[in-house]
Structure 1
Amino acid sequence: MALRSLKRKTPECVTTYRRTNCKFETSINREIRFGGFTSSSVGSYASPHFGDQSCFEITTCFGAGISEFSQFESEREVLIPPYEVFKVTDIQKRSGENSLPCQVVYKLKSTKETRSTLNCA
């Protein structure tokens, strides 16, 4: 309920960015979800101290802006719910001739659908 209230202040869909030190195994056209509340930033990738193994360019339609509550207000933080489903649209790997922000960059686009096995009623 609280996330829905915050969502009213966020445009319908927004592109956000996330970086981490975790490795992920997925493929293009696969549907995934983060499975937990996930922090991301509008405009650009957050500080490299958050990681350089995996970066995500995420188009979220259920994420809510939480900058006013964030420890890192300048990062324009968006909280993505665990139930939002994304399609992997592209995967880029760092090589000698490109300057990606992480070893692997995943592009994710919301399917505008949700999936959860929890009954929170």
Structure 2
Amino acid sequence: MPQGDKSKYTDKQKRKAAHIEESYEARGVPEEEAEARAWATVNKQSGGGEKSGSGRRKNETAKRADRKDSARRAAATRQGHSPNRGSAQARRESGSTSLAELSRADLLERAAELGVRGRSRMRKAELIEALS
């Protein structure tokens, strides 16, 4: 049996672990391994025992700050400003950039615009060579 006391888990978490364990056993996984994997899955999904409810770990001040930040970013997006706009994107739009300064994602975008075949499998250096 996996380590630890299972009494702290909710009934829902216990049912979920039992269902996952049955699924693993049906696929031929040994019983002990299936149980360990099931509890590992429950822990990964819910963070362990007695963790029901959303946002339990944040205090009101942190929640308020997150809401304010989210509202600020939404307002900036509505006004046409991207909050995550990087300098590589700004250089690309200004037209004064060398290909080496761009990220691989930016190079992929340019390659798509030009119809470069096989671009999705290319490394950054290969993309630069194909775009040159």
Q: TM-score, normalised by structure 1?
A: 0.22
Higher strand share: 1
Q: Which structure's relative contact order is higher, taking Cα pairs within 8 Å and 6+ residues apart?
A: 1
Kindly name which structure, 1 or 2, has the bigger radius of gyration based on alpha carbons. Answer: 2
Which protein has the bigger helix share?
Answer: 2
Q: TM-score, normalised by structure 2?
A: 0.20
